[in-house]
Amino acid sequence: MSESADDASSTFHGEKGRVQLLGMGMDLFVAGTDTTTTMMEWITLYLASYPEAQASLRAEVESVCGGRGRAARPVDLRDRGDCPRVQSAIEESLRFSPMAVVNVPHRAQRDTHLGGYFFPKGTQVGAGRSLLMLVRGLLLQ
């Protein structure tokens, strides 16, 4: 990057570079916070819709962190391995409500037949995550 910063025609040079860097930083910040916020909204909706699951997850956290009705200590990322139901609930929420609808596109590496369709080598393909995550047995074909 230092070579580009010294090149006056580079988008990373001088004031233009500072503006570019700030813009990229904002893109990363906004993308990360929006994704996290959306995920938390879905998880909250699912927990509110399934109070028995909410109670089970709360009991698991309380058993790991101590306390009754309130954890004796804050939950820590190191507790992750001791809270398999919480981890499964998070993963299931992400499976059921994926944040990204379409996967990164790929190319067929060889002529391929799949589901009655023919994909010649080099064909760009992109699978809808919702379809992959919600149709039972699709990934096993």
Give which of 48, 47, 45, 74 is closest to 61, Cα–Cα.
74
Q: Compute the distance between CA of residue 45 and CA of residue 39 in angstroms, rounded to an integer.
A: 10
Q: Compute the distance between CA of residue 60 and CA of residue 17 in angstroms, rounded to an integer.
A: 49
Q: What is the pLDDT of residues 31-63, one digit of tens each?
A: 777 788 888 898 999 999 999 999 999 999 999
Contacts 24+ apart (CB under 8 A), 90-93: 90/43, 93/39, 93/42, 93/43, 93/46
Token pair 């391929």 is found at 112
Token pair 């398999």 is found at 84
**89 and 108 part of one domain:** no
**129 and 67 part of one domain:** no
**84 and 40 part of one domain:** yes
**74 and 135 part of one domain:** no
* 28 band by pLDDT with thresholds 50, 70 and 90: confident
Q: Compute the distance between CA of residue 54 and CA of residue 43 in angstroms, rounded to an integer.
A: 10
Q: Is the pTM here over 0.85, yes or no?
A: no
- Please check the confidence at residue 109 and state whether its pLDDT lies above 60: yes
DSSP 8-state secondary structure symbol assigned to residue 121: T
Q: What is the pLDDT of residues 72-85, one digit of tens each?
A: 888 888 999 999 99
Q: What is the mean pLDDT of residues 14-39?
A: 81
**25 and 45 part of one domain:** yes
